[in-house]
Amino acid sequence: MIQVAPQMRLLVAVEHVDFRKGIDGLAGVCRQVLGSDPFSGAVFVFRNRRQTALKILIYDGQGFWLCQKRLSRGRFRWWPEDREGPMCGVMAHELQTLIWNGQPRAAMTAPMWRPLAEAK
C-alpha cells in the first residue's frame, strides 16, 4: 500500500505525456524532461493530453508503483502552467485534492504551520 505523507516530495509534470508509456517510459520522462531521478522516492504525477486521466509513478526502494486514475466524466480542471518550469511541487493535501478532481490551490485548507499560543 502507498501512503502519501507530508514529508514526501510530490512533483507534477506540467506538460502532458503519452499515456501509452508504462513504467520505463515515464521513468525516462522523469530523467530527460523533468531532470529528476525516478529512483529518488519522489512521487511523479502525469496527465494525459485530454486531461481525463492521471498516472502516478513512485519508487518504494524495491520497485516501481504505477497508479492510474481515469475520470468517467469531466476533466481535471487544475494543472500548473508552463511558466512554472517542467514540473511543479505540490503538498500532500494538494495531491489528494487533485486526485479527487478538485483545485488544489483554491481549496480551503488550514495553513501547514501555525505558531502555538504562549501559555499564560
Using one digit for the tens of pLDDT, what is the confidence trace for 76-105? 888 877 666 888 888 887 888 888 876 666
Q: What is the pLDDT of residue 12?
A: 92
Using one digit for the tens of pLDDT, what is the confidence trace for 24-68? 999 999 999 999 999 999 999 999 999 999 999 999 999 999 999
Q: What is the pLDDT of residue 85?
A: 82
Q: How confident is the model at residue 23 (pLDDT cuts 50, 70, 90)?
A: very high
Task: State the Cα–Cα distance between residues 76 and 117, nearest whole angstrom.
Answer: 39
**DSSP conformation class of 72:** S
Q: What is the pLDDT of residue 56?
A: 96
What pTM does this model have?
0.82
* Grid cell in block for residue 63: 520497485
**CB neighbours of residue 64 within 10 Å:** 15
Task: State the Cα–Cα distance between residues 63 and 2, nearest whole angstrom.
Answer: 12
The pLDDT of residue 109 is above 80: no
